[in-house]
Structure 1
Amino acid sequence: MTGAPGAGRERPGHDPAPTPRQRAARDPYFDNVKYLAIVLVAMGHAWTPLMESSRAASALYMFVYTFHMPAFIVVAGYFSRSFTGRPDQLRRLVTGIGVPYLVFEVAYIVFHRQVNGTDHPFSLLDPYYVTWFLIALFVWRLTAPFWKIIRCPVLVALGIATLASVSPELGDDLNIQRVLQFLPFFVLGLTLRREHFERLRRPDVRLMALPAFVGALLVAYWAVPRISARWFYRTNAVQEMGHLWWTGPVMTLVLFSAGLVLTAAFLAWVPEHATWYTALGAGTLYGYLLHGFLAKGSRWWGWYEAEWIATPAGQVAVTALAAVVVTVLCTSPVRQLFRCVVEPSMGWAFRSAASTGGGAPKGDGPDGVRSTANGPPAPRTTAPRTTAPRTTARPVAGSTAPAPRRDADTGA
C-alpha cells in the first residue's frame, strides 16, 4: 500500500528516491492484488447502509468480507518474511505504520465529533474504524521473526485465534480480538513463496475458482437471514455475541477455510501483467485510510436517505461511485498531498544509520510490500574481493609517521 518517496537529493535520515530501474522491479501482480482488494474494501463499506433494505447487498457484503481483508493480510505476511528487526526496518515500522496510526486515529475521532455531533472519547488504545489494520500490522510485523523459527506456525496461529474467539476477558484494547483472530492469514503469508502464487495461475485452478465464487455467493444469499455479519469482523468473542463457547472453534475454522478458498480464487484471477491500475497499487494505503472519512460522512450527511439509492440502479451507482472514489485516492497527486502524514520523513527522530548498524538494504513498506520492489530480495552474487595483502609498518619510536588507521570493515 505504500508508495515510493518522491524524487530528490538524498539527505541524511531519508531513503534515497528509487531509480527508474528500481521502480520497474515492482511486481505488477501484487500491485494488482492490492488495488483490486482496496476496491472491494471500499465497496463493502458503501454497501453497509444498504444491508437492511436489500438482501442482495447483504449477500455481496458477506461474500466480499469473507476474503478481501484475508487477501490483504496474506500479502502483507508474504512481504514480511524479510523482517528481522533491523534498525532500518524498525524505523520504517514506526514511520510507515506507527505514526500514521496515531495521526489518523486522532483525525477520525475529531471528524466524528465535528460531523456526527456526538462525543467520542480520545483513546489511542481503541482503534477507530479502519485504523485497526495499522495496529494489527504493527503487532504482526513485530512477531514475524518468531513465526519463522517454530514448527507448524499456521496451526499454532489457528490455535491462538481459536482461544481468542472464546476469551471475552481479552477486552477491547488495540482491537486485540481482530489482531489475534486474523493472525493465521498473516502467518500463512509468511510461509508462502512466489511459486505458490504462480501455481494459482494454472488453468485448472482458475477454472475451479469460478464455481467456488458462485457457490460462495449462493451460500451468502442463503445465510443473510440466518447469520450475523458480525462474524466476519472478528471483533468479539462468541460469548459477547450471545453464542455458546463451542461455536468459537467451529466458526474460526469455518471462516478461515472459507477465507482461504476465496482468497485463493481471487488471487487466481488477478492479472499478472501490468494494467492501467497497476501503478495505483502503490497507493492503496492512502485509499484505505482516506476513504473512511467519506464512508462515515456519507451516512452522517444523509446521502443514503435519497429514495433513488434504494433502487437497484441506485445501488449499482453507489457501488461504482465507491470504486471511483477509492481509485482517485490511490493516485499520485493524492499521495503527494498526504505523504507527510502517511509516509512521513522523520530522520530527525532517529540516530544515524551508521551508529545503529542500519546500513542494510531497505526493509518492507508499511503494508508489508517493499517500497522499491514488490518481491523478496533477489539473491546477490558478489565477486570475491581481490585486494593485495596489506602490510602496516609499526612507527619507529621518535618518528613522525602517522599511526595506522583502523580498518573500517573489520573494526580491527
Structure 2
Amino acid sequence: MMNPLRPHGQHRAPLPPTQSSANGVPSPRSPQNQPGEHASSRAAAGTGAGNRPGKQRDAFFDNAKYLAIVLVAVAHSWEPVKGDSRILQSFYTVVYTFHMPAFIIISGFFSRSFDLRADRLKRLLTGVVVPYVVFETAYSLFKRYVDHAPDQEISLLDPWYLTWFLCALFIWRLTTPIWKLVRWPLPIALGIAMLASVSPEIGDDLDLQRVLQFLPFFVLGLCMKPEHFRLVRRRSVRILSVPVFATALVVGWWAVPRMKTGWFYHRAAAQELAAPWWSGPVMVLALFSCSLLLTACFFSWVPGRKMWFTTLGAGTLYGYLLHGFLIKGGEFGGWFDHAWLERPLGEIFLSVLAAAAVTLLCTSPVRRVFRFAMEPTMEWAFKRDSAEIARGRDRTAGQGAPEREKVSA
C-alpha cells in the first residue's frame, strides 16, 4: 500500500492516501496538506486546484475523527449533571479513558512527515498557534464577561479549558524530528510521562503536565503504520471489542467511589491528587494500557466506508473549539441546574443535544464563517521561500519553451 515509517526514523514515509483537515483537536492536518481545510475539502470532493488523482481522503480517518469529537462533546455535557449518578460517572470514566488518546494517536500518525521545513513551519503557525491565541483570548474574555469573573486574566501561558490541546500539539509536532531520530521513541516517551507524574513542580505553564503525560500517545501515532489500523479493524477484533467494553463499564462502575477522576485528565502529578508518589508511574502505565485497549476497540467499530457524516471529519477542529462556548455558556447561565437533567431521560436528552450541536459545528457553513480564525492564510506575514520562487521560475520557463520552439519552427 505504501512504504511504512520505520520506528527509528531512518526513512520517512509518505502519508496514507488521505488529506486531513486543519490542525487541532481532534482534527489534525496532514503535514502535506495543511494550508487550509478548504483545500482539503475540495480534495475530498475530487475537485480543486492541485488535487491529484488517487489522492482522496480516507473515509476511515474522517469517520474516526467525527465520532471521537461527538464523544468529546457528549462527555463534556455530562460533567455538570453526573453528580452522584454512579452509572453516568462510569460511562464518563470509560469515555475519558480513550477519546483524547484516539485523537492524539491520529494526530501523531498524520505528523509522521513533519520536519522543520519552512512551509511546514508556516502551516504549524497558522493552523495551531494562531487558533490557540485567538481562542485562548476568546475563552478568557467569555469567562470574564459571561461568568462575571473580572479577575479572569488573558494568559497565553496558562491554557484554559479546551485550548490545551493546541498548545500540546504545537509542542509535540515541533519535537517530531527528535522522535523519528531516537532508537526507542515510545519507551522514552513513557519514561517522560512517568517522571512528569511525580513532578508537581512542573506547574500550570503551557499545561505541561498534560503535554508530557499524553505524549506517549502522540509518539505511538508517529510509530504506527497503516497496517496497524487495518489490524484492529478485522471482524474478530470488532466482535471481541463488545465484551471488552462491557468489562470496562463494569470496572468503571467499580472504580467510581475508589478512584479520583483527576487521573483521567492527566493534568496533575500524583502528589497533587493526594496519592503517594510511586502511584504516579504505576497509573501512567496502567492508564496507557487501558487507553490503548479501548482505543483499539473504538477504531475497530469505526466504519471504513463513506458515511453521511464522513465529510464532517474535515471540520472537527471547529466542532472541538466552538462547542466549549455552548458547554461553558450553559454552566454560566445555569442551564444544567434543572433537576430533571440528572435523571436518565434528561441525561439522554443532553447527550443527543450535545451530539447534534457538535455535528452542526463541523458543517461547511460554520467552517466558512470561522475559517479566518482557525485556518488563516496570512501570506502577508511570511517571506516567500527562495526555493519556492525558484520552482515557480522553472515551471514558467518550462511552459514557455514549447512556444519558442513552435515559433522557430
| Category of TM-score, reference length = shorter chain | 0.7 to 0.9
2:404: which partner in 1? none
Q: Which has the larger radius of gyration?
A: 1
Is 1:198 the counterpart of 2:230? The answer is yes
Equivalents in 2 of 1:285, 1:47: separation in Å? Answer: 21
Deviation at 1:6, TM superposition (A): 6.0
TM-score by length of 1: 0.82
2:148: which partner in 1? 117
1:76: which partner in 2? 107
Q: Which amino acid aligns with 1:178?
A: R
For the residue of structure 2 that corresponds to 1:214, the secondary structure is helix
Answer 1 or 2: higher relative contact order, Cα 8 Å, separation at least 6.
1
- Which runs of at least 4 in structure 1 moved beyond 3 Å after TM superposition? 16-24, 355-360
Deviation at 1:50, TM superposition (A): 1.5
Percent identity between the two aligned chains = 55
Larger displacement relative to structure 2 (17-26 or 301-310)? 17-26
Equivalents in 2 of 1:37, 1:234: separation in Å? Answer: 18
Aligned with 1:97 (options 128, 136, 140): 128
Q: Which amino acid aligns with 2:235?
A: P
Deviation at 1:287, TM superposition (A): 0.3
For the residue of structure 2 that corresponds to 1:5, the secondary structure is helix
Deviation at 1:188, TM superposition (A): 0.3
Equivalents in 1 of 2:390, 2:83: separation in Å? Answer: 53
Q: Any stretches of 5+ residues in structure 2 without a counterpart?
A: 1-20, 23-35, 41-46, 393-409
Corresponding residue pairs, total = 353
For the residue of structure 1 that corresponds to 2:38, the secondary structure is coil
2:60: which partner in 1? 29
Alignment of structure 1 residues 45-56 onto 2, 5 Å? 45-56=76-87
For the residue of structure 2 that corresponds to 1:244, the secondary structure is coil
Relative to its length, the structure with more helix (as a share) is 2
1:66: which partner in 2? 97
Distance 1:223 1:22, change over 3 A: farther
Q: Any stretches of 5+ residues in structure 1 without a counterpart?
A: 8-15, 361-412
> 1:141-164, CA deviations, whole angstroms, 9 ceiling, x for partnerless residues?
000111011111111000000000
1:127: which partner in 2? 159
2:273: which partner in 1? 241
For the residue of structure 2 that corresponds to 1:80, the secondary structure is coil
Deviation at 1:307, TM superposition (A): 2.7
Deviation at 1:223, TM superposition (A): 0.8
Q: Are the equivalent residues in 2 in contact too, given 1:37–1:71 (CA < 8 A)?
A: yes
Alignment of structure 1 residues 286-325 onto 2, 5 Å? 286-325=318-357
Distance 1:270 1:246, change over 3 A: same
Equivalents in 2 of 1:17, 1:277: separation in Å? Answer: 21
Q: Are the equivalent residues in 2 in contact too, given 1:283–1:335 (CA < 8 A)?
A: yes
Q: Are the equivalent residues in 1 in contact too, given 2:37–2:315 (CA < 8 A)?
A: no
Equivalents in 2 of 1:40, 1:259: separation in Å? Answer: 15
Is 1:4 the counterpart of 2:37? The answer is yes
Q: Are the equivalent residues in 1 in contact too, given 2:97–2:294 (CA < 8 A)?
A: yes
2:396: which partner in 1? none
Equivalents in 2 of 1:346, 1:251: separation in Å? Answer: 43
For the residue of structure 2 that corresponds to 1:127, the secondary structure is coil
Q: Are the equivalent residues in 2 in contact too, given 1:88–1:359 (CA < 8 A)?
A: no
> 1:335-356, CA deviations, whole angstroms, 9 ceiling, x for partnerless residues?
0000000001100000113357
Aligned with 1:280 (options 290, 312, 324): 312
Distance 1:78 1:320, change over 3 A: same
> 1:123-144, CA deviations, whole angstroms, 9 ceiling, x for partnerless residues?
1100010000000000000001
TM-score by length of 2: 0.83
